[in-house]
Amino acid sequence: MNAVIGYGGIAAFFLLVIVVLELTKKQSANFSEYATAGRSFGSWFSAMAFLNTWVPGTGFIAFAGFAAAFGVISFYSMVYSLLAVVLMFFLARPVFEWGKRHDLRTQADLLGLRYGSRAVRIVAAIIGIIASFPWAILGMQSLALVFKYLSFGKVGGTVAVLIGIAVIGLRQIWTARFGMRGVIISDFVQGIVAYVIGTIIALGLLTWLVTNGHGFDKLPASHYSLPGPGSAVGPLYVASLILTGVLGGWCWPDIFVRLFTSNSSATIKRAAVMAAPLMLIFDTALTLLAIVAASVPGVDKAPDNVWFITAGIGGAGLLTLAGVCVVAATMGNIGANLQALGTQAANDIVGAAMNVRITNARIGRIAVAVLTLLAAIGAFATINMTSGLIIFAFVSYQAICQLAPTLLLGIFWKRGTAAAAIAGMVSGAVSAMVLQVLYPISIPWADGATSGVIGLLINTAVYVGVTWAMPMKAAERQRVERLFSQKHSQVESDVAGIGNEVAVASPRSF
């Protein structure tokens, strides 16, 4: 009976998302609308979509497990997440205006425009796809824990992975059909379940633990310390995690494309203001729960299971709700990831290599479907290799950060050149990945700095050095000046922005 409750809860939530998508469906007229949702969504949709992509299902598993195992150091993720929201505020105007004016669909598309180079566009797209794809595989595998727990002992690990792959594969049918419009709409539903209901569950469990003998005083002293001079990981370790987190955050293709789906730059800024408190409350509740739950029997042996172990205290019903929260967060993350990667593959690799502008939305659907199939095959082929994939995922995170100098300096500094961008991205990515393999946690000779930070230093030095050694020619300088001097033709106001949000929120606007 418990298994029926568990799997029935997942089925009911899945059905809810599909019904909402079918009721609000709107076929994309062209590839641009498929990739950007027609740049039509308001602040609440944008804020919830950011959360549903930024905080994946592994937040309930890996990040919560890290908090249970190591304590207050885990708050680093909250710090860099909030700083990433601040960066979202400052990126809003240039990214949205360039995107709308020049019909940009992806992050790589924007970089290609800024540097006037197909090569920059292709290199950025390749780095983004290679770095992001392992996370799609890990997302599919993370669902295995949900289906294992909600079977209440009736399903083993391998079968649970296969069920997770099948569920995500089925869900991706609607992602491929509706593109970013479907992703944003489903993100709203999934976000409410994952982060609103998830926060309520976390606060409720935290209250129960504190009042039933699992207070903060039961934790070892090590849970309240941060690495400093003489520590095993080095004094710069936490600062490095925060730096690479905030700079790398907007380098992920699926995160960046959120900026193109909003209906104005003012909307993006309001979405950032809305997302910050929601993220602060959710992250605080989940992290504190995981830290306190370290004293719960069984958590010390399997910290990644802390969310499920503590939810199990409330019986089958509460455990099912907790599992649905993980599924909601995972579906949103995987869907947006594969949608962005498929769009980037079609638009910035195939389209750029052939020097054609993709206009048919069907090409995007095919690319998303192909990547979904490849991710499913990858998840199946690596059922017993999760630890190896996690290591590769850590390497990929240090690599994706290397898009930051090219992206941020390109947007806020006019002098950067295409040659500098390519040299910086390649040198930074290669050095970061090599150092990550040699020093998986931190680099001793760099006082605990991570491979991503050293890569960023090399990357930025190469970018600036090449820019000064090989400055722009007169024609390119004039092109960049025109790009930066163009003024947005639409006059925005807070009243108009609020009006747009009301219009977007109406089902008729879908």
Q: What is the pLDDT of residues 338-374, one digit of tens each?
A: 888 888 998 899 888 888 888 888 888 888 888 888 8
| Helix, strand, or coil (residue 207) | helix
Position 309 confidence tier, pLDDT thresholds 50, 70, 90: very high
Output b/e per residue, 360-392; b: 16+ Cβ within 10 A: ebebbbebbbebbeebbebbeebeeebeebeeb
pLDDT at 110 over 90: yes
pLDDT (average), residues 90-110: 89
pTM, 2 dp: 0.85
Q: Write the CB contacts of 166 (distance below 8 Å, at least 6 apart in sequence).
A: none
Q: Which amino acid is at 219?
A: L
The secondary element (H helix, E strand) that includes residue 324 is helix 315-344
Note the Cα 190 to chain centre separation in Å. 15
CB distance 425 to 127 below 8 Å: yes
Averaged over 410-422, what is the pLDDT?
Answer: 95
Who contacts 242 (Cβ-Cβ below 8 Å, separation ≥6)? 76, 79, 80, 83
DSSP conformational letter for 231: -
What is the predicted pLDDT for the residue at 384?
Answer: 64
Which DSSP letter does residue 346 get?
A: I
Structural domains of the chain, with CATH: 2-384 (1.20.1730.10)
Distance CA 130, CA 139 (A): 15
CA nearest neighbour of 293 among 312, 321, 317: 312
Question: Are 121 and 348 in contact, with CB atoms under 8 Å apart?
Answer: yes
CA distance 112 to 114: 6
Structure tokens, 280: 């602060």
| Predicted confidence band of residue 500 (pLDDT cuts 50, 70, 90) | very low
